[in-house]
Structure formats: structure tokens, C-alpha cells
């Protein structure tokens, strides 16, 4: 008992006469929750404002502090009461703070021994008789009031021997002075039958921490160690805080460095507990650091601590550290038990080290630590995870024959793994054995069966099993329904999956994050990223906190769609919620950054992973290497590869394949071979992808013989070629024109594999090129006879395209006719590439002839073929033939689409046949073909071309008044037509309207307007428009500068033109021939002939061939400048280059010779002109000397 001076003892006894209600005491006091409080209950302290009656106490809003005895010799429980319409009671604590106290009873209306007491805390002491048990007995009530230095009275109760203190925490919370609290804390600690709890110690530590009383905190911590009071994370974090350690439990090692000098010395129990706390928080690396420190200080970890560490490290697949821990515990004299060995087997098995797991099992037998059913089950699970299901099944059968009979968990483990493979037969077999062994099927086993059925494609049968469950009285759980939803989604039966999901509530189960994950994953892999994100948000709106798996599923879909902003939001929210991202999370975010071209941000995430203690996965490094290679940061990719060793990570086959792929793209053959050799030396077995990558690298870099050698070495390395391997080698052989070898390899492949489309598209063109068309046709015939090969249109188009590329169009035409005549290809797909190439090279008539021959063989043309043919004929001005083909098309039953109508409308528009244009436009609509934006643009352009500008403008406004959305191609012809007709203000107004209609002007539109104003001499407006274009972020092109230069030169502003010409080059644009011609002609016109000649030399340095306009300009201006000899040389040069002089060439020469006074040579030029078949014009005669 805590006692201080001025102790007053009091007692109160009430007479045993009958009352309508139990005796009561009234106390008036000031509450921290309310000004004054009043109330009445059996055995309670009552607060009465101004001694009012009980009725006034029942007014709503008053707050009461009621102290009620609960059982004999128990401390009083204080309750706060708030009066509303009825009385409610809420527990507050064990003490009521009062400002004045007046104790009354029916017999004694005086004060507490006739005195008034200030600032009291009250507790009962001594025997208290339960009112319910002793209604008519006398009740005694006594206690001790202690006034402390803060004018506070503390009454401490005597505790019954053998019972812990109740209310110590409430007492500590009520004391604000750290000295009093610490004295009280120590006094309680000194009582023989009282033990402090974690809560009371942490509260004391926090109070002392606030006042920086480190020494007293050491006392509390030592007490916790001595009395073995649990130290939780709050304990350590409070100590960390007083020692100025930031970063929480992750800074455990650093914190221990500061704790020891401050006096916080951890014993073995504390170290063990601290390790468990760190592991529970997910800080495995930090836990290992603390473990190493513990060993260094001579403390011995417990077997439980070792087991926990091994489990945590095992989850990271760090088998090396697990086995080191096993050795270290044995070196300290701790003998591993069956649980420890089982952990090792699980870790080794999950890491794929099955042989080492078996060695541990043998060691258990040798050391007399017999494996139990759990050990065998763990080993079976490990074998299944490693894909060794047959071996797992054999071990299971051995168990049945041994003393370690399989239990329910063993059966479930095996069934679950076979279920993952969709092996329905094995699941049924195990099910039967399980029931024979006396284990009845339950909801878990039924769920496994449902999963197997859904994976085997028998989802309807899976649903029928629900009835069987019902008959056996087994209720499906959420996992059962999740399995069915997953099966439906796997079968692409989305509507049924959604329907089942919506019925979950009515079925008595509540969806969890995993249920939503199923849908998020489905939407993400279906490319519906927005729906995946909506599902993720819906889950949160239902109050379901997303776990890391849900976030990863969402991030997968967002990464696939390149939705970086949304991915960042999910990632940030995950971290804010306190959930640690895992390696998959970081991998998805890296993928997002990579797609957005932000590789540096992806690399930064690796640093963040390390700092946050996230387990580094080699898959993440592989992903980064791939990203860096894709953006040509090759050196950084190799640096990342070199870092693997420092990260204690081993390169996988994926790592090597990624690097080999990069070397292949760079053509670094020798480095690829060295890396391949290193890979084998390091014990990493190459797979088929490895060989395919290396062979491709060799074949594309003239190392086909080495590729063939490595190909035949594949089988010795237990790796078998696939169709890609053969295709790669066939490609290599055909590039060296070793067609016979490629043909042999193809027949070698046929023994074990079927050729695919790539095989044929690689081999057939080479055969055709070498005039082995019959062999090519036989290969195609063999290819088509297999039911698994269905020749799609794309196959025939790719095949023909390959023949065209490797041979010639003429050979390809013969080959295509052979395919059609032999009925191997029965549609027009083989003709499409040919018609495209022929049309492109202005051989549309030949394409038409081939089409006629193909049609005679029964080939029906598609819209695509008609489109190509009509377009090709129009390009070579065979308009009538194009229209005839159009009519034939309609007669054959092939309905023209809008693209074909557009072709013909465009031809009519460009020819200026407005009436036919408009009539054909009406015909098109009459036959039900709906015009598109291109159609309307063609009509408007055609009207402008034929000078019907007003009609074009009217049509435009008529369209805009409807649902038509104009494009820059709509505005371009209108603005150009208005500008060329001198209606610049209307053109500019229409230009401004573009923005109002939501159509942003492009560079071409600006060029039209700039040219219009420039040609009218308004260079100020032209230059203003140019600057506006730049300001709006539209980059001027060469044509923009050329227009400005031409217009400025026309006005004689040569220097300004030169400035724009230089600016063009500074902007990274290359002047074209037209731009050079403008400058050369302009400089020559204004007598700056040397600069013109300099540009002429620059033009040729840039490998731009001057045209006749260039030569004509220079010859003219050289002649005018009296440099007729230089002009004559340029004339000889243009003849040498194969250019044919025109009338302007001859006129320039005649003028030059005339100015120089050489009339004979002027007439000689005239004679050459006449004999060369070039007709003179009026300018010719005007330039001839002595015209009279």
C-alpha cells in the first residue's frame, strides 16, 4: 500500500431498515466529461448539482460517474453514464476524480467525518457485501484516503493472496506525474503476488520516454526480462524512439548498437523474442542480422528461433542459408528434431533440390530421428512442386506399405497437385483409396475434385457434383464457389461466372479479395484493362482491403495496356495501406515504366526493393536486362547481369536467353558463343529457346556451318529441336542458296515434326527461285493434306510475298497461276500481293490480264482484289477499263463498298467532271452505300478543283449542320480554293472556325494559308501565321519554310529568305530540291550569283540531284551576269546527266549569248533547238539578236 502524510480513515454504517431502494451515497463533483453530474444506483457514488432531486438527474444530456461494487473484495468499477431517453452505462475506469465530496446516508447527513475533501480519487478497501446476497443485512464500507504532493489522494487496495492486480493499468493511466507513476509502478512490482503485464510496462516505458528518462526505462526493460513479461514491437519501438532510431523495426541492427551503451542489454530470451517479432513483420534479413549478433555476444538461440529463421529463409528459397543454420545449431549443441529436419526437406524440395531433400530424410533415419507422416507429406508435396508426380505417387505407395500411413493431409496434398495438372483419373483413384482408408470426403476434397473437372474442361460435371455434396450434407464454402467461378472464366463463360458471383450472398458466403482477383485476372488477360480496374475499385468500395495478390493482378492488366498512371495509383495505394509489395509487384511496375519508355524509373525500383527488404527475385533482374537491351542501353544490361553474383542470385536460363537475344540483334557472334559456353560451364542447362536464339544468331551472320554442327549436338545435351529450330536452319541454308541441303533438312524434320506456315514461306520461295516449282508444289500439297493445317488467306499472301521478294514478279505470276490451276489455292488470296506490286509499278494492265486468267479457272474475286485492280487502272489512266471492271464487279454479285466508290469519285473529281461526280455520289447512296468522311472530302475537293467554291462551301456547312465531323482534309481544299481565288479573309475565317468545331489545324493547313497570304504580298500575315504554328506546338516542315522563302524572294527580301533557309537547317530539317531551287533562282535573280553557285555545290554534296529547273535558273542568271562560259558548261553538264533541255533552257542560252554580243552562238543555239525538235515560243524570238 502506498501511504503518504495526512492519512484520513473513515467508515460509514447504515441501519438495517427497509428502504424502497438500496442505500445510496451522494457525491457532488466536477467531471472532465461534464460540468456536474448526478445519478442514483445501488451502492454508487452520486453527483448532485446543487443538491437537486433525483428527477432532475434523469434529464437527457447529464453525464454520471457511477461506482458500483462487483463481487466481494473486488475493486470498484467506475462507469460513465450519459442520459438520453434511457440510461446507458459505459465503463471508464476504477477511479472518479472529484473536486468536493459530501458523503451522506439516511442516517448520516454529515460530510466525510464532517470535512470536505478536494481533488480526490476514490477506491474501496476492505470487505464489501454484495447487495443482492444481503439485502437486509448491515453493510460496512471503509477505506483509506491518501493525499500526495500533487494534492491527489490515492487509495490502494489490499489484494487477496494469490490473485493478480486488477486495474493497475487504469491506475497508471490516471496518473499524470511520471515520478508518482514510476513509484507506483515499482511498488506494484515489489508485491509478491502481483505481476506486471506487457501493457503496464509499455505504458510506463512510453511515459518515461516522453520525459527522456532512459535509466528508468532500462529498469522497466530489465524487469520485463527478469519476470519474463512478453516484449512486443511497441516495447522495442518505444526504446528505439528514445534512442533516436528512425525507420521502425527494419532498423533493428542499428538500434541494438545504440541500446547496449544505453544499458538495454538483451538476454537470450529477449533475443529469441526479438527475432520472432522481426520475422512476423516480414523482416527476414534484419532477423538474420540480429541472430548473428546474438551468436557473437555468446547467447544461444532456441530451437524454436532456429526453426522460425529456417522457415522464413526457406520462403526466399535460400537453401544455402538454411543449411548453414542447420550446421550452426548443431555446433551449439542443439539437436535438430523431426520438425527442424522437415523444414529443411520442405525448403530443399521447393527449391527443386530433391536429391538433397532425400539425403536429409536418410540422415534422419541414421540419427534415429524417425520421419513422421508430416515429413513424408512434405516430401511428397516437394516432389509434386518439382513436377515429379510419378515419383511422388511412388513415395505415397511406399508410405501405405510402411508404418507411416498416409493421413487426410497426405491425400489432399497429392489430390491437389494432380488436380493442378487436370489429371482427373489420378484424382478419382486417390479419392477411392482415401475412402477405403476411412477418410470421408469433405468440402476440401470435393473442392479439389471440382477444380480437376473444371481444368479438364468438364465444368458442367463440376456443377453436378454440387448436388452430390448436398446429398451427403456437405455445404460448399467460398473456396468451392471460387473454384467454380475460376472454371467458368477458364471456359470463357463470363456471364455465368458473373451470375454465380452475384448469388454468393444468397448462398450464405461472402466474397473475399481472391474472388475479385479471379475476375481481375480474367479481364487483364483478355485485354479488358479498364474492366479489371473497375473490378479492383468495386472490391475496395465493398470494404474489402486489397491484398498484394489483388494489386498484382490489377497491375498485370495495367502493365499489359501500358496504363502507367493507373498502375502508379494502385502501387501507391498498396504502399500507403501498409502492405509490402513483393517481387511480382515490382516486376509489373517495371513493365509499366518500360512500356512508357521510362527505363530509369524501372531501374530505380530495384533500389527501392533492396531498401525495403523485398526479396530480390532473379526474374526481376531478367526483366530489367530485357528492358535495357530493348532501349539500346547494352552496357547497363551487362552491368545488371554482373550484379547478380553480388546479389547472391544465380543466372537462370531466362537470363542467358535474354542476353543471347541481345547479342543476336547486335550480330556479336563470338560473344554469343562465349556466353553459351559459360552457361553450360556454370551448370545452367540450355533449353530449346537457347539453341534457337544461338542458331538464329549464327545463321544471320554467315555462320551456317557452325549452326548445323550445334544443331546436331542438341540431342547430346538432352535438348530436342522444335519446328522453330528447323525453320531457323532452313532459313540459314536458303540465304546461302543451299536449297538442296534445306530440302533435305525439311524431310528430316518430317520424321518427327510437322512443318508450319513459316517453314513453307521460307523454303518454297527458294525452290521457286531455283526453278524447282514442282518440288515447291509437292511440299505445299503435303502440307495441306494434314488436317491440322488450314490454309488461311494470310498464309497464301505471305507465301506469294516471299516468292516475290526472293525471285521476281514475273516468276511469282507463273507460280501463282500454277497454284490456281493445280487447285491448291482456290481463292484470290494468292493474287493480292501480286496485284499490289504490279499496281505500284504501274503494271495495272498486266494485273488485269492475270485476273482474267484466274477468273477463267473459277476464282471469284473479293472486294480487296477489285479495289487494288480498279485503283491500279486509274493510276495509269485506263479509266474506261476501270469503269468496266466496276460494272463487272456489280454483275458478279460483289457489292462495292465505300472504299471502291471513293476511288472512282476521286478520279471524277480530279478530272473536273462535276456533274458525273455528283450523279455517281447520288447513285452510291441509292444503292445503300453510306458515305464516310473521306467521301465527303472527295466531293468538296472535286467541287473546289472545278472552281465551284461556293457550292463546296455550301455543302460543307450543310454537312456540319448534321452529324458530320470535319477533318483537316475537309478544310484543306476549301481554304486553298478560297485563298487562290483571292478570298483570303473568308479563308482565314474558315481557318478560325476549325478550332470551334474541335478540328486542330495541322501543318498542311497552315502551309496553305501562309502560301495564300505570301503570294498576295502580305508577308506580315504569312510570318504571323508561321509563328503561331510554332507557338501551338506544330512543327513546320520543309514545305513551310520553302513557301516562306519563295514568297520573300518574290518580294525581293533576299536576306530574310536566307535567314529562314538557315533556320530550316538549324531545326534539323534537310532542304529538298524545291527549296534549293527557290534559293538558287532567287539569289541569281538579285545578282548574288556566287552564293547561288555555292548552294548549287552544297546541293550536290548532300547527294541531291539537280533537275532541269536548277540548271535553267543558273544558266539564265549566269548569262545575265555575263558569265556565259560558265552557263555553257552547265548546259554541257545537264546533257551529260541525261537531262533533256526545254525551250526555257535554250531561251536562257540565247539571251546570254545575245547579252555577251556573241550573236553567232546565239543563232547556233537556236538551230540546235529547232533540229532537236523543241518548238520556240515568243520568248525565243524576243531574245534572238538583230530581230529586225
Contacts of 930 (CB under 8 A, 6+ apart): 898
Q: Give the number of other Cβ atoms within 10 Å of residue 177's Cβ.
A: 14
Please check whether residue 332 lies inside any domain of the structure. Answer: no
- Residue, of 539 and 559, whose pLDDT is higher: 539
726 pLDDT tier (thresholds 50, 70, 90): very high
3-state secondary structure of 11: strand
Please check whether residue 527 lies inside any domain of the structure. Answer: yes
843 pLDDT tier (thresholds 50, 70, 90): very high
Cβ proximity of 582 and 570 under 8 Å? no
Cβ proximity of 519 and 489 under 8 Å? yes
Cβ proximity of 780 and 760 under 8 Å? yes
Please check whether residue 1113 lies inside any domain of the structure. Answer: yes
What is the total count of domains within the chain? Answer: 3
- What is the pLDDT, as a whole number, of residue 354? 78
For the record, the C-alpha cell of 321 comes out as 542459408
Q: Which of 73-77, 315-319, 398-402, 696-700 has the lowest mean pLDDT?
A: 73-77
Q: What are phi and psi of 12, to 5 degrees?
A: -145, 130
Range 773-784 burial, b when 16+ CB lie within 10 A, else e: bebbbebbeebe
From first CA to last CA, the distance across the chain in angstroms is 145
Q: What are phi and psi of 1020, to 5 degrees?
A: -60, -45
User: Cell 547497363 sits at which residue?
Assistant: 636
> Tens of pLDDT along 41-54?
333 333 333 333 33
- What is the pLDDT, as a whole number, of residue 1077? 94
Q: What is the dihedral of CA 957, 958, 959, 961, to 10 degrees?
A: 80
For the record, the C-alpha cell of 980 comes out as 487562290
E strand residue ranges, 99-191: 120-121, 139-145
Crossing angle between the packed helical segments 198-210 and 178-190, to the nearest 10 degrees: 150
Q: How far apart are CA 727 and CA 1135, in angstroms?
A: 52
Tell how many helices (H) and how many strands (E) occur in the chain. Answer: 60, 9
Domain hosting residue 1161, numbered range: 1107-1188
Most confident of 57-71, 155-169, 506-520, 784-798: 506-520
Length of the chain: 1188
Averaged pLDDT score across all residues of the chain = 80
> Tens of pLDDT along 277-287?
888 888 888 88
Burial of 345 (0-12, 13-18, 19+ CB in 10 A): buried
Q: Give the number of other Cβ atoms within 10 Å of residue 193's Cβ.
A: 11
Sheet holding 63-68, edge to edge: 63-68, 77-83, 87-93
The two beta strands, 87-93 and 8-14, are unpaired
Crossing angle between the packed helical segments 268-280 and 233-242, to the nearest 10 degrees: 100
Contacts of 1123 (CB under 8 A, 6+ apart): 1089
For the record, the C-alpha cell of 118 comes out as 478536494
Cβ proximity of 120 and 98 under 8 Å? yes
Q: What are phi and psi of 97, to 5 degrees?
A: -90, 130
Kindly list the distances between the CA atom of residue 939 and the CA atoms of 284, 447, 617, 874, in Å, as whole numbers in the listed order.
Answer: 73, 66, 62, 18
Cβ proximity of 379 and 349 under 8 Å? yes
> Tens of pLDDT along 404-450?
788 888 888 888 888 877 788 888 888 888 888 888 888 888 888 88
Query: Residue 1175's domain is classified under what CATH number?
Result: 1.25.40.10
User: What is the gyration radius of the CA atoms in the chain, in angstroms?
Assistant: 47
- What is the pLDDT, as a whole number, of residue 1093? 94
User: Cell 559459360 sits at which residue?
Assistant: 678
Q: Which residues pair with 145 in a beta bridge?
A: 8
Please check whether residue 40 lies inside any domain of the structure. Answer: yes
Q: Is the pLDDT of residue 92 over 70?
A: no
Contacts of 410 (CB under 8 A, 6+ apart): 373, 376, 377, 380, 396, 399
Cβ proximity of 64 and 81 under 8 Å? yes
Range 682-700 burial, b when 16+ CB lie within 10 A, else e: eebebeebbbbbbbbbbbb
Domain edge (last residue) among 158, 186, 216: 158
For the record, the C-alpha cell of 913 comes out as 467532271
Range 1076-1114 burial, b when 16+ CB lie within 10 A, else e: bbbbbbbbbbbebbebbbebbeebeeeebebeebbbbbb
Contacts of 1118 (CB under 8 A, 6+ apart): 1084, 1089, 1124, 1126, 1127, 1130, 1152
Q: Is the dihedral of CA 627, 630, 633, 635 positive or negative?
A: positive
Please check whether residue 6 lies inside any domain of the structure. Answer: yes
Cβ proximity of 1073 and 1107 under 8 Å? yes
User: Cell 438500496 sits at which residue?
Assistant: 22
E strand residue ranges, 959-1043: none
165 pLDDT tier (thresholds 50, 70, 90): low
Q: Is the dihedral of CA 807, 809, 811, 815 positive or negative?
A: positive
Q: What are phi and psi of 325, to 5 degrees?
A: -60, -40
Cβ proximity of 17 and 160 under 8 Å? no
- What is the pLDDT, as a whole number, of residue 869? 94
Of 858, 910, 867, 907, the C-alpha closest to 885 is: 867
Cβ proximity of 427 and 421 under 8 Å? no
Contacts of 706 (CB under 8 A, 6+ apart): 698
Q: Is the pLDDT of residue 5 over 60?
A: no
Please check whether residue 800 lies inside any domain of the structure. Answer: no
Cβ proximity of 352 and 386 under 8 Å? yes
Q: What are phi and psi of 759, to 5 degrees?
A: -55, -50
Cβ proximity of 270 and 230 under 8 Å? no
> Tens of pLDDT along 327-362?
888 888 888 888 888 888 888 877 777 778 778 877
Element (H, E) at 640: helix 634-646
- What is the pLDDT, as a whole number, of residue 99? 31
- Residue, of 830 and 314, whose pLDDT is higher: 830
Domain edge (last residue) among 94, 129, 158: 158
pTM score of the predicted model: 0.54
Kindly list the distances between the CA atom of residue 791 and the CA atoms of 196, 257, 763, 815, in Å, as whole numbers in the listed order.
Answer: 83, 73, 16, 17
Domain edge (last residue) among 158, 178, 203: 158
Burial of 15 (0-12, 13-18, 19+ CB in 10 A): exposed
Residues 529-554, mean pLDDT to the nearest whole number: 81
User: Cell 523444414 sits at which residue?
Assistant: 343
Percent of the chain predicted with pLDDT > 70: 85
Most confident of 383-387, 532-536, 851-855: 851-855
User: Cell 447529464 sits at which residue?
Assistant: 62
Contacts of 987 (CB under 8 A, 6+ apart): 974, 975, 978, 979, 1008, 1009, 1012
Q: How far apart are CA 289 and CA 255, in angstroms?
A: 12
Cβ proximity of 776 and 802 under 8 Å? no
Q: How far apart are CA 960 and CA 938, in angstroms?
A: 16
788 pLDDT tier (thresholds 50, 70, 90): low
Element (H, E) at 359: helix 354-366
Q: How far apart are CA 275 and CA 267, in angstroms?
A: 12
- Residue, of 903 and 604, whose pLDDT is higher: 903
Residue 238, by phi and psi: left (phi above 0), alpha (psi -120 to 50) or beta? alpha
Residues 12-17, mean pLDDT to the nearest whole number: 34
Q: Is the dihedral of CA 1162, 1163, 1169, 1172 positive or negative?
A: negative
Please check whether residue 132 lies inside any domain of the structure. Answer: yes
Please check whether residue 58 lies inside any domain of the structure. Answer: yes
Q: Which of 421-425, 528-532, 558-562 has the lowest mean pLDDT?
A: 558-562
Cβ proximity of 345 and 360 under 8 Å? yes
Amino acid at each position: 500500500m502506498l501511504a503518504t502524510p495526512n492519512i484520513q480513515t473513515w467508515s460509514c454504517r447504515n441501519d438495517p431498515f427497509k428502504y424502497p431502494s438500496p442505500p445510496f451515497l451522494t457525491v457532488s463533483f466536477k467531471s472532465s466529461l461534464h460540468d456536474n453530474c448526478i445519478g442514483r444506483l445501488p451502492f454508487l457514488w452520486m453527483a448532485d448539482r446543487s443538491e437537486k432531486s433525483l428527477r432532475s438527474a434523469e434529464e437527457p444530456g447529464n453525464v454520471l460517474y457511477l461506482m458500483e461494487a462487483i463481487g466481494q473484495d473486488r475493486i470498484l468499477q467506475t462507469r460513465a453514464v450519459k442520459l438520453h431517453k434511457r440510461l446507458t452505462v459505459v465503463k471508464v475506469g476504477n477511479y472518479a476524480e472529484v473536486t468536493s465530496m459530501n458523503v451522506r446516508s439516511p442516517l448520516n447527513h454529515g460530510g466525510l467525518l464532517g470535512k470536505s475533501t478536494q481533488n480526490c480519487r476514490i477506491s474501496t478497501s476492505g470487505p464489501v457485501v454484495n447487495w443482492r446476497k444481503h439485502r437486509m443485512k448491515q453493510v460496512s464500507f471503509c477505506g483509506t484516503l491518501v493525499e500526495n504532493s500533487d494534492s491527489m489522494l490515492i487509495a490502494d487496495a489490499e489484494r487477496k493472496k494469490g490473485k493478480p492486480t486488477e486495474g493497475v493499468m487504469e491506475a497508471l493511466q490516471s496518473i499524470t506525474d511520471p515520478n508518482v507513476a514510476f513509484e507506483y509502478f515499482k511498488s506494484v512490482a515489489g508485491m509478491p503476488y502481483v505481476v506486471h503485464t506487457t501493457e503496464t510496462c509499455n505504458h510506463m516505458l512510453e511515459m518515461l520516454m516522453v520525459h527522456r528518462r532512459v535509466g528508468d526505462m532500462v529498469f522497466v526493460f530489465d524487469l520485463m526480462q527478469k519476470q519474463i513479461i512478453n516484449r512486443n514491437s511497441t516495447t522495442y519501438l518505444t526504446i528505439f524512439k528514445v534512442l533516436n532510431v528512425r525507420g521502425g523495426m527494419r532498423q533493428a541492427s542499428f538500434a541494438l548498437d545504440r541500446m547496449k551503451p544505453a544499458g538495454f542489454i538483451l538476454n537470450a530470451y529477449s533475443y529469441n523474442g526479438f527475432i520472432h517479432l522481426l520475422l512476423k513483420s516480414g523482416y527476414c534479413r534484419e532477423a538474420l542480422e540480429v541472430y548473428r549478433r546474438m551468436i557473437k555476444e555468446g547467447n544461444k538461440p532456441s530451437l524454436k528461433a532456429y526453426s522460425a529463421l529456417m522457415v522464413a529463409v526457406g520462403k526466399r528459397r535460400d537453401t544455402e542459408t538454411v543449411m548453414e543454420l542447420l550446421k550452426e545449431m548443431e555446433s551449439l549443441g542443439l539437436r535438430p528434431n523431426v520438425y527442424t529436419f522437415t523444414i529443411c526437406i520442405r525448403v530443399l524440395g521447393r527449391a527443386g533440390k530433391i536429391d538433397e531433400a532425400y539425403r536429409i530424410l536418410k540422415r534422419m533415419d541414421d540419427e534415429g530421428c524417425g520421419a513422421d507422416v508430416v515429413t513424408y507429406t512434405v516430401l511428397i508435396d516437394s516432389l509434386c512442386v518439382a513436377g515429379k508426380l510419378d515419383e511422388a505417387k511412388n513415395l505415397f505407395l511406399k508410405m501405405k506399405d510402411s508404418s507411416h500411413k498416409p493421413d487426410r493431409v497426405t491425400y489432399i496434398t497429392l489430390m491437389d497437385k494432380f488436380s493442378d495438372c487436370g489429371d482427373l483419373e489420378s484424382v478419382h483413384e486417390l479419392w477411392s483409396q482415401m475412402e477405403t482408408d476411412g477418410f470421408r470426403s469433405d468440402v476440401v476434397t470435393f473442392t479439389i475434385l471440382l477444380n480437376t473437372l473444371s481444368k479438364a474442361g468438364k465444368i458442367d460435371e463440376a456443377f453436378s457434383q454440387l448436388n452430390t455434396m448436398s446429398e451427403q450434407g456437405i455445404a460448399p464454402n467460398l473456396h468451392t464457389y471460387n473454384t467454380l467461378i475460376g472454371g467458368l472464366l477458364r471456359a470463357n463463360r463470363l456471364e455465368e461466372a458473373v451470375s454465380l458471383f452475384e448469388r454468393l450472398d444468397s448462398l450464405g458466403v461472402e466474397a473475399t479479395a481472391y474472388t475479385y482477383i479471379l475476375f481481375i485476372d480474367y479481364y487483364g488477360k483478355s485485354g479488358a484493362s479498364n474492366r479489371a480496374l473497375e473490378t479492383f475499385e468495386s472490391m475496395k468500395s465493398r470494404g474489402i482491403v486489397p491484398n498484394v495478390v489483388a494489386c498484382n493482378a490489377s497491375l498485370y492488366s495495367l502493365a499489359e495496356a501500358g496504363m502507367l498512371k493507373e498502375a502508379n495509383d494502385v502501387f501507391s495505394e498498396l504502399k500507403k495501406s501498409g502492405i509490402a509489395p513483393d517481387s511480382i509487384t515490382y516486376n509489373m511496375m517495371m513493365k509499366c515504366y518500360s512500356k512508357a519508355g521510362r527505363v530509369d524509373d524501372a531501374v530505380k525500383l530495384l533500389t527501392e526493393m533492396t531498401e525495403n527488404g523485398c526479396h530480390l527475385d532473379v526474374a526481376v533482374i531478367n526483366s530489367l536486362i530485357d528492358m535495357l537491351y530493348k532501349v539500346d542501353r547494352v552496357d547497363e544490361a551487362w552491368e545488371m547481369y554482373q550484379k547478380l553474383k553480388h546479389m547472391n542470385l544465380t543466372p537462370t536460363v531466362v537470363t542467358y536467353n535474354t542476353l543471347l537475344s541481345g547479342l543476336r540483334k547486335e550480330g556479336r557472334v563470338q560473344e554469343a558463343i562465349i556466353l553459351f559456353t559459360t552457361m553450360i560451364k556454370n551448370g545452367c542447362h540450355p533449353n530449346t529457346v537457347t539453341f534457337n536464339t544461338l542458331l538464329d544468331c549464327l545463321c544471320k551472320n554467315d555462320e551456317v556451318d557452325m549452326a548445323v554442327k550445334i544443331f546436331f549436338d542438341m540431342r547430346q545435351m538432352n535438348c530436342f529441336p522444335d519446328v522453330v529450330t528447323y525453320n531457323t536452319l532452313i532459313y540459314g541454308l536458303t540465304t546461302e542458296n543451299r536449297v538442296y541441303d534445306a530440302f533435305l533438312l525439311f524431310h528430316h524434320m518430317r520424321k518427327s515434326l510437322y512443318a508450319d506456315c513459316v517453314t513453307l514461306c521460307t523454303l518454297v520461295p527458294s525452290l521457286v527461285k531455283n526453278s524447282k516449282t514442282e518440288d515447291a508444289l509437292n511440299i505445299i500439297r503435303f502440307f495441306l493434306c494434314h488436317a491440322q493445317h488450314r490454309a488461311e488467306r494470310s498464309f497464301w499472301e505471305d507465301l506469294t510475298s516471299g516468292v516475290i521478294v526472293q525471285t521476281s514478279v514475273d516468276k511469282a505470276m507463273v507460280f501463282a497461276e500454277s497454284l490456281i490451276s493445280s487447285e491448291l489455292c482456290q481463292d484470290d488470296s494468292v493474287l493480292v500481293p501480286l496485284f499490289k506490286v504490279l499496281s505500284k509499278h504501274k503494271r495495272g494492265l498486266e494485273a488485269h490480264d492475270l485476273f482474267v486468267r484466274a477468273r477463267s479457272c473459277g476464282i471469284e474475286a473479293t472486294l480487296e482484289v477489285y479495289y487494288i485492280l480498279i485503283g491500279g487502272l486509274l493510276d495509269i489512266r485506263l479509266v474506261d477499263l476501270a469503269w468496266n471492271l466496276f460494272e463487272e464487279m456489280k454483275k458478279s454479285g460483289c457489292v462495292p463498298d465505300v472504299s471502291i466508290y471513293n476511288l472512282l469519285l476521286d478520279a471524277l473529281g480530279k478530272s473536273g467532271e462535276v456533274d458525273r461526280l455528283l450523279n455517281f455520289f447520288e447513285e452510291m447512296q441509292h444503292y445503300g452505300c453510306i458515305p464516310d468522311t473521306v467521301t465527303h472530302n472527295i466531293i468538296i475537293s472535286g467541287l473546289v478543283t472545278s472552281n465551284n467554291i461556293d457550292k463546296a462551301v455550301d455543302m460543307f456547312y450543310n454537312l456540319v449542320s448534321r452529324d458530320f465531323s470535319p477533318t483537316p482534309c475537309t478544310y484543306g481544299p476549301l481554304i486553298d480554293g478560297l485563298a487562290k481565288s483571292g478570298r483570303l479573309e473568308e479563308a482565314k475565317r474558315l481557318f478560325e472556325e476549325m478550332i470551334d468545331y474541335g478540328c486542330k489545324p495541322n501543318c498542311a493547313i497552315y502551309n496553305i494559308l501562309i502560301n495564300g497570304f505570301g503570294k498576295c504580298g502580305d508577308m506580315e500575315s504569312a510570318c504571323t501565321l508561321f509563328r503561331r504554328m510554332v507557338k501551338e506546338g506544330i512543327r513546320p516542315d520543309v514545305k513551310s519554310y520553302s513557301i516562306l522563302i519563295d514568297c520573300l524572294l518574290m518580294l525581293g527580301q533576299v536576306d530574310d529568305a536566307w535567314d529562314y533557309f538557315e533556320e530550316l537547317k538549324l531545326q534539323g530539317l534537310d532542304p529538298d530540291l524545291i527549296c534549293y531551287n527557290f534559293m538558287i533562282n532567287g539569289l541569281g535573280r538579285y545578282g548574288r550569283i556566287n552564293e547561288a553557285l555555292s548552294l548549287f555545290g552544297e546541293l550536290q554534296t548532300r547527294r541531291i540531284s539537280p533537275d532541269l529547273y536548277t540548271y535553267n535558273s543558273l544558266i539564265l542568271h549566269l548569262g545575265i551576269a555575263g558569265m556565259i562560259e560558265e552557263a555553257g558548261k552547265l548546259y554541257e553538264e545537264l546533257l551529260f546527266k541525261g537531262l533533256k533541255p526545254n525551250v526555257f533552257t535554250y531561251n536562257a542560252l540565247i539571251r546570254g549569248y545575245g547579252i555577251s554580243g556573241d550573236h553567232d552562238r546565239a543563232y547556233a543555239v537556236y538551230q540546235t533547238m529547232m533540229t532537236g525538235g523543241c518548238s520556240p515560243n515568243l520568248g525565243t524570238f524576243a531574245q534572238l539578236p538583230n530581230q529586225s
